[in-house]
């Protein structure tokens, strides 16, 4: 019999972290973050990272584990998450994985082929092409090399477009070809919760309001500290994160403040749309509406029904 695990997935600003904490307050779980931005130290405001008091009371694994100047691959995440899940299970608790990085969830649950690490020279050339010709230029290049990935990846998501191109340049094979043969699937019985406002306008409003709060809380100062570091630059995955990328361009003088804020909010909404599109493909997930209030009681009751270990240890 496979041990249990819980996934809480959803678009940005859906309330995932608050729900995970509410569950951890009452049920025998340990939280593992599934977020490609929360891994970075010193990137707190723009990632909506739980504050230090919350993290002390409700520890989140895989938060604040590397510097912004470092890289963290999907393969590293899967390896770290599996090790943590085994340790949590051995302690008699249930792993609760929460976040919005859908690539991480997908690779963890279903396995992923070993992809090459990033090549700095290739990245620099693609960044040069991006600045000189725009995102459409790179996306059209990807259409010729890997039409399936090009159809899946939005033209306004240059980070993923560049990664798909980079994989081809390094291996001679498309991302689609390499990921057809996935690695080992997860040896856990996964209960999958999908949390999201069902009303799009509510989600859009939350995204805008949260970004405005981030600005009030000192987000630009946070990015300025990164901007002033010698080991940080615009090509790093950390700086390419939504919100940080736009703020970096603002500090470079590419945008005025109003344009920077507008572009950041639009990019965040586009990311949420991509997240929801992927989540709709998850036929084994159960959706819960966070339009007005967090459905904490409903989710807890559902988990108690689905995961027998929670009933025995609660």
What's the pLDDT at 118?
80
The phi and psi torsions of 103 (rounded to 5 degrees) equal: -60, -40
Per DSSP, helices labelled H in 217-307 are: 219-227, 244-252, 257-279, 296-306
Please tell me whether residues 192 and 214 are part of one structural domain: yes
Please tell me whether residues 107 and 236 are part of one structural domain: yes
Please tell me whether residues 133 and 93 are part of one structural domain: no
Please tell me whether residues 209 and 307 are part of one structural domain: yes
Largest CA distance in the chain: 60
Please tell me whether residues 256 and 159 are part of one structural domain: no
What's the pLDDT at 314?
57
DSSP state, residue 40:
B
As a whole number of angstroms, the distance between CA 258 and CA 260 comes to 5
Cα–Cα distances in angstroms (integers) from residue 185 to residues 2, 33, 111, 113, 161, in the given order: 12, 19, 5, 11, 26
Please tell me whether residues 278 and 220 are part of one structural domain: yes
As a whole number of angstroms, the distance between CA 187 and CA 286 comes to 20
Query: Which residue from 39, 59, 55 is spatially nearest to 47, judged by alpha carbons?
Result: 39
CATH of the domain at 173: 1.10.20.140
CATH of the domain at 212: 3.40.50.300
Please tell me whether residues 153 and 253 are part of one structural domain: no
Q: Starting at the earlier edge strand, list the strands of the sheet with 94-99.
A: 60-61, 29-33, 94-99, 4-9, 189-196, 285-289
Scanning the structure block, which residue is given the tokens 């950041």? 264
* Number of domains observed in the structure of the chain: 2
Please tell me whether residues 187 and 171 are part of one structural domain: no
Please tell me whether residues 200 and 296 are part of one structural domain: yes
What's the pLDDT at 184?
73
Please tell me whether residues 146 and 57 are part of one structural domain: no
Domain extent, residue 238, equals 4-112+182-313
As a whole number of angstroms, the distance between CA 122 and CA 125 comes to 5
Q: What is the mean pLDDT of each run of 10 residues along the chain (314 residues)?
A: 96 97 96 98 97 96 97 91 97 97 92 77 90 92 92 86 91 81 80 97 97 97 97 93 96 96 96 95 95 95 93 68
Listed residues 179, 200, 230: the one ending a domain: 179
Please tell me whether residues 230 and 155 are part of one structural domain: no
Listed residues 179, 209, 224: the one ending a domain: 179
Please tell me whether residues 31 and 84 are part of one structural domain: yes
């Amino acid at each position: 019999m496979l041990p249990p695990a819980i996934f809480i997935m959803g678009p940005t600003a859906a309330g995932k972290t608050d729900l995970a904490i509410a569950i951890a307050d009452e049920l025998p779980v340990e939280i593992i973050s599934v977020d490609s931005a929360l891994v970075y130290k010193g990137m707190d405001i723009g990632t909506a990272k739980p504050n230090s008091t919350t993290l002390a009371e409700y520890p989140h694994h895989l938060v604040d584990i590397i510097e912004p100047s470092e890289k963290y691959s999907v393969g590293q995440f899967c390896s770290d998450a599996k090790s943590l899940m085994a340790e949590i299970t051995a302690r008699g608790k249930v792993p609760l994985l929460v976040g919005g990085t859908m690539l991480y969830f997908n690779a963890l649950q279903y396995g992923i082929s070993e992809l090459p690490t990033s090549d700095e020279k290739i990245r620099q050339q693609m960044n040069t092409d991006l600045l000189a010709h725009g995102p459409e230029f790179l996306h059209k290049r990807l259409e010729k090399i890997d039409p399936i990935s090009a159809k899946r990846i939005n033209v306004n998501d240059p980070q993923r477009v560049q990664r798909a191109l980079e994989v081809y340049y390094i291996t001679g094979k498309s991302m689609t070809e390499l990921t057809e043969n996935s690695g080992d699937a997860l040896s856990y019985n996964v209960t999958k919760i999908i949390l999201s406002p069902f009303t799009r306008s509510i989600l859009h409003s939350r995204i805008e309001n949260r970004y405005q709060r981030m600005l009030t809380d000192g987000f630009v100062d946070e990015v300025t500290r990164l901007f002033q570091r010698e080991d940080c630059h615009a090509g790093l995955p950390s700086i390419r994160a939504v919100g940080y990328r736009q703020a970096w361009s603002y500090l470079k003088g590419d945008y005025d403040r109003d344009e920077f804020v507008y572009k950041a909010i639009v990019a965040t909404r586009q990311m949420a749309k991509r997240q929801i599109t992927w989540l709709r493909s998850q036929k084994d997930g159960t959706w819960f509406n966070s339009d007005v209030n967090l459905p904490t009681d409903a989710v807890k009751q559902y988990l108690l029904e689905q995961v027998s270990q929670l009933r025995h240890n609660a």
